[in-house]
Amino acid sequence: MKVTVDRSKCEGYAKCVGVTPKVFKLDEKFISVVVDAKGDSDQKILLAARVCPTKAIVLEEEDSGQRIFPQS
Ligand code: SF4
């Protein structure tokens, strides 16, 4: 699964870090960055994306590029 953070949407709430601390961390600007997209199960990463208040975390299928979350 491809995991990216839309930096224009992230507001540094760090909820993603709380759910999956091996996958996300806050950088020096308090914006979330992906440190290891395989640092937790896809299910847990989906949960992290769901709890993000600004829907800044984008999940896509590795091969097809198909959007998993958020659904628009
Ligand atoms: S939960 Fe969302 S807004 Fe908060 S740090 Fe993570 S990506 Fe950014």
For the chain, the domain total comes to 1
**pLDDT for residue 62:** 95
CA of 59 to the centre of ligand 1 (A): 14
Predicted model pTM: 0.95
pLDDT at 72 over 90: no
Mutate to test the pocket of ligand 1, among 9, 46, 52, 55 (most ligand atoms within 8 A of CB): 52
pLDDT in tens, 4-54: 999 999 999 999 999 999 999 999 999 999 999 999 999 999 999 999 999
User: For residue 47, how far is its CA from the centre of ligand 1 (angstroms)?
Assistant: 12
Write out the residue range of the structural domain in which residue 22 sits: 2-69
- Whichever domain contains 7, its CATH number is 3.30.70.20
Angle ∠(40,43,21) on CA atoms, nearest 5: 35
CA 21 to chain centre: 11
The residue whose two tokens read 């299910």 is: 43
